[in-house]
A and B are shown apart, each in its own frame.
Chain A
Amino acid sequence: MPDNVLEAVGLHRAYGSVRAVDDVSFTLPEGGSLGIVGESGSGKTTTARIIVGLEQADAGDVLVRGQARGARRRGRAARLARAREVQMVFQDPLLSLDPRASVEQVLRETLSLHFPDADHDRRVRELLDQVGLGTRAADARPRQLSGGQRQRVAIARALAVEPAVLVLDEAVAALDVSVQAQILNLLADIREETRIGYLFITHDLGVVRCVTDDVIVMRRGRVVEAGPTAEVLAAPRHPYTRLLLESVPRPGWDPEAIAAARRAL
C-alpha cells in the first residue's frame, strides 16, 4: 500500500528469554498519527528504537513508503537517506541535546549535514518560528532553557531533517501538564502544515486522545488491541485496555480495585 508512510511487519526482538517485542505489526498512513500505548516494560520504547534504527529487530521488517529500511548501512548517502525517513524526539530533551551546543549550533549542524547548499540563516529562523521559539533563544544552551523550550529545540532539530515520520518517545512525559498541552498543540499544528507522520510512544492516554488518529495497545511485547483512537478509548475490547483506562486518576477512583484487577489479569 503506497499511501502508508510507515509500516511495521511482524517485528520481533528478544533480550535473552525476555520477548521485548513479539510480533508487532502496524501501519501509519501518510500524514497520520499513530499512538503506541502501554505501561513500562510493554516493549513500546524498544519498538520505537527499532523503527528509528537504534536497535535491530531479530525478525520482521520496517517499511517506509513501501521500501524496506533494512540494516544500518555504511556510506554517507545511505546514512542521510535513512535519517530523512524517520526522525525521533526523545523523552528528556536535556539529555538528548549536547550540553555544550547552543540552539543555533544544533540546528546549523543538522542543516549543514543534510542541506549543505541551503540558506541556513533563513532556515534556522523558520525552524525556530515553526516551534514557537524566538530568535533570542538561538544563542542559549540547553541548560539555560526551560523544559518546554528544550523539547521545542529537539523538535526543531528533528524537523530540520524534513523526515517522513517523526517518532516521539514519551516526548511530553517529562514536562509540566500546562507545557505538555502547549507542545501537543504545537505538534498538531506542525502536522497540519507539513503532513508529517507521527508515531507517539506514550503511557499517557490523555496524550493519545489529543493527538492520535489510531492507537495500538501493547502489553508484554504484544499488540493486544488496535483501532481508531476514539473507538478504542470509548469502547475498549481487551481487558488490559479497560484496565489502563480505569487507571487514570479521576473522582471516584479506586486504586485498590484496579490493583486487584491487574493481578487477576
Chain B
Amino acid sequence: MTAVLTRRPGLSKLRTGRSPLHLICLGLVALVTAAALLAPWLVPYDPNAVDLANALAAPSPEHLLGVDAAGRDTFSRLLLGARTSLLGPLGVVVFSTVAGVAVGMAAGWRGGWLDSVLSRSTELVFAFPGMLLAILIISIHGEGLLAPVVALSIAYLPYVSRLTRSLVLAERERPYVSAYQVQGHSALQICLRHVLPNIAPVVLAQSTINFGYALMDLAGLSFLGLGVPALTPDWGRMVFDGQAAIQHGYPLSAILPCVFIVLTVVAFNVVGERWADRVARRTP
C-alpha cells in the first residue's frame, strides 16, 4: 500500500527509523495525556489565583516553575493548560476524521459526479489557509473554544477525505469486495464492515499527525487572542500573556508553554508517522 500521509515541510524531515526517538515520543504523548487527564487532582494552586506580591517570582519550592506577571502559578497553569490545549485538537481530529472518512468514502466508492463534486469542494477548502478560515469563523461566531475547533475541523477535513478516497479506490478493486458484492451484501455494509476496518489504521495515523498540527494552529489562534476565553489556562494563551515578562527578563512563564507545544507536536508527528510505517509494512 502506498498511502502518502500529508505532513508539513519542516516536520517531514523527522525520520522515525531510530526507535529511541519513537519511544521517547510515545512516552511524551502518554505523559502529556496523563497530565491533561489528571490535572485537576495534581495542581497545587488555583490556576487563576492572583498573588501580585509574588508576581514574576523565580522557581521556588512553593512555586516549582515560578509565577507569571499576574501572579499566577505557572506549573498549575501548564498542567490545566494541557487540558484545553489537547481537548481542542481532539475535537478537531474527531470531527475532521469522521466527516472526512464519510466524504472520502462516498467519493471513492460511488465515483462519477459525486466524486467530482466532493473532491472539487474539498479542494476548494484546501485553497484557504486553515488559520485564515478559523479567524474568519471566529470573527463571525465570537469567542469560545467551539468556533476555532469547528473552523479547523473544516480546514483539516480535506487531508482526511483525500487520503480516505485514495485508500477506498485501492481497496474496492480488491477481490474480497467483489466477493461480498456477489454474496449480496449492500454497499453500505461492505463499506462499514469491511472496507473501513481495513483502511482505518492508515486514516488514524494521518489523524494522529493532524492532532499535532491542530494543536499548533489552535495555540497560534489563542496566542493571537482568538478562540480561548481570556482566563482559561491554555498554552498558546500563556505564551501571549508571558510576552511582556520576557522583555522584563522573566522568560519562564512564556518559554515553558512554547517548549511543551513544540514537544507535543513533534511527539504526535513521530508517533503517527511510525504507526503509518508499521501499518504499511503489514498490509500485502
Interface residues in chain A, defined as those with a beta carbon under 8 Å from any beta carbon in chain B = 52-54, 76, 79-80, 82-84, 86-88, 90-92, 94-101, 109-110, 113-114, 154, 157-158, 161
Asked if residues B176 and A88 are in contact (CB atoms below 8 Å), the reply is: no
What's the nearest-Cβ distance from chain B to residue A162, in Å?
Answer: 12
Asked if residues A110 and B198 are in contact (CB atoms below 8 Å), the reply is: no
**B178 adjacent to chain A (CB < 8 Å):** yes
Interface residues in chain B, defined as those with a beta carbon under 8 Å from any beta carbon in chain A = 174-176, 178-186, 193-194, 197-198, 284
Output the nearest chain A residue to B197 by Cβ-Cβ distance.
Answer: A100
Asked if residues A76 and B186 are in contact (CB atoms below 8 Å), the reply is: yes
Asked if residues A161 and B174 are in contact (CB atoms below 8 Å), the reply is: no
How far apart are the CA atoms of A82 and B181 in the complex, in Å? Answer: 11
Asked if residues A88 and B194 are in contact (CB atoms below 8 Å), the reply is: no
Asked if residues B197 and A90 are in contact (CB atoms below 8 Å), the reply is: no
Asked if residues A80 and B197 are in contact (CB atoms below 8 Å), the reply is: no
Asked if residues A87 and B175 are in contact (CB atoms below 8 Å), the reply is: no
How far apart are the CA atoms of A101 and B193 in the complex, in Å? Answer: 10
Given contact pairs A98-B194, A98-B198, A99-B198, A88 touches B179 in the complex (Cβ within 8 A):
yes
Asked if residues A95 and B174 are in contact (CB atoms below 8 Å), the reply is: yes
How far apart are the CA atoms of A90 and B178 in the complex, in Å? Answer: 9
Secondary structure call for the B interface:
helix
For A94, the chain B residues whose CB sits under 8 A away are 284
For A113, the chain B residues whose CB sits under 8 A away are 183-185
Output the nearest chain A residue to B181 by Cβ-Cβ distance.
Answer: A54
Most chain B beta-carbon neighbours within 10 Å: one of A94, A98, A99: A98
For B198, the chain A residues whose CB sits under 8 A away are 98-100
What's the nearest-Cβ distance from chain A to residue B243, in Å?
Answer: 51
Asked if residues B184 and A157 are in contact (CB atoms below 8 Å), the reply is: no
Asked if residues B183 and A110 are in contact (CB atoms below 8 Å), the reply is: yes
For B193, the chain A residues whose CB sits under 8 A away are 109
* A to B contact number (C-beta, < 8 Å): 59
The 10 closest A-B pairs by CB, nearest first: A83-B184, A96-B175, A95-B175, A96-B179, A80-B184, A88-B182, A90-B175, A79-B184, A98-B176, A98-B194
B182's partner among A54, A91, A99 (CB-CB below 8 A) is A54
How far apart are the CA atoms of A83 and B180 in the complex, in Å? Answer: 10
CB pairs A–B below 8 angstroms (27 shown): A53-B182, A79-B186, A82-B184, A83-B184, A84-B184, A87-B182, A88-B179, A88-B182, A90-B179, A91-B175, A95-B174, A96-B175, A96-B176, A96-B178, A97-B179, A98-B176, A98-B180, A98-B198, A99-B176, A99-B198, A100-B194, A100-B197, A100-B198, A109-B193, A113-B183, A114-B184, A157-B183
What's the nearest-Cβ distance from chain A to residue B199, in Å?
Answer: 11
B178's partner among A54, A84, A161 (CB-CB below 8 A) is A54
Asked if residues B182 and A83 are in contact (CB atoms below 8 Å), the reply is: yes
What's the nearest-Cβ distance from chain B to residue A81, in Å?
Answer: 8
For A52, the chain B residues whose CB sits under 8 A away are 182
Asked if residues B176 and A87 are in contact (CB atoms below 8 Å), the reply is: no
How far apart are the CA atoms of A79 and B183 in the complex, in Å? Answer: 9
How far apart are the CA atoms of A42 and B198 in the complex, in Å? Answer: 34
How far apart are the CA atoms of A161 and B174 in the complex, in Å? Answer: 21
Output the nearest chain B residue to A88 by Cβ-Cβ distance.
Answer: B182
How far apart are the CA atoms of A52 and B179 in the complex, in Å? Answer: 10
How far apart are the CA atoms of A114 and B186 in the complex, in Å? Answer: 12
What's the nearest-Cβ distance from chain A to residue B174, in Å?
Answer: 6
Most chain B beta-carbon neighbours within 10 Å: one of A52, A76, A95, A114: A95
Output the nearest chain B residue to A160 by Cβ-Cβ distance.
Answer: B183
For B197, the chain A residues whose CB sits under 8 A away are 100
For B185, the chain A residues whose CB sits under 8 A away are 109, 113
How far apart are the CA atoms of A54 and B178 in the complex, in Å? Answer: 7
For A82, the chain B residues whose CB sits under 8 A away are 184
For A83, the chain B residues whose CB sits under 8 A away are 182-184
What's the nearest-Cβ distance from chain A to residue B144, in Å?
Answer: 41
What's the nearest-Cβ distance from chain A to residue B179, in Å?
Answer: 5
What's the nearest-Cβ distance from chain A to residue B63, in Å?
Answer: 52
A161's partner among B176, B184, B194, B284 (CB-CB below 8 A) is B184
Output the nearest chain A residue to B282 by Cβ-Cβ distance.
Answer: A99
Asked if residues A92 and B182 are in contact (CB atoms below 8 Å), the reply is: no
How far apart are the CA atoms of A84 and B184 in the complex, in Å? Answer: 8
For B183, the chain A residues whose CB sits under 8 A away are 83, 87, 110, 113, 157-158, 161
Most chain A beta-carbon neighbours within 10 Å: one of B180, B183, B186: B183
In the complex, besides A98-B194, A100-B198, 7 extra interface pairs with C-beta distance below 8 angstroms are A53-B181, A54-B182, A90-B179, A95-B174, A99-B176, A113-B184, A161-B184
How far apart are the CA atoms of A96 and B175 in the complex, in Å? Answer: 5
What's the nearest-Cβ distance from chain B to residue A75, in Å?
Answer: 10
What's the nearest-Cβ distance from chain B to residue A33, in Å?
Answer: 19
For B284, the chain A residues whose CB sits under 8 A away are 94, 99
Output the nearest chain B residue to A99 by Cβ-Cβ distance.
Answer: B198
What's the nearest-Cβ distance from chain A to residue B167, in Å?
Answer: 14
What's the nearest-Cβ distance from chain A to residue B278, in Å?
Answer: 16
For A90, the chain B residues whose CB sits under 8 A away are 175, 178-179
How far apart are the CA atoms of A18 and B126 in the complex, in Å? Answer: 40
What's the nearest-Cβ distance from chain A to residue B84, in Å?
Answer: 37
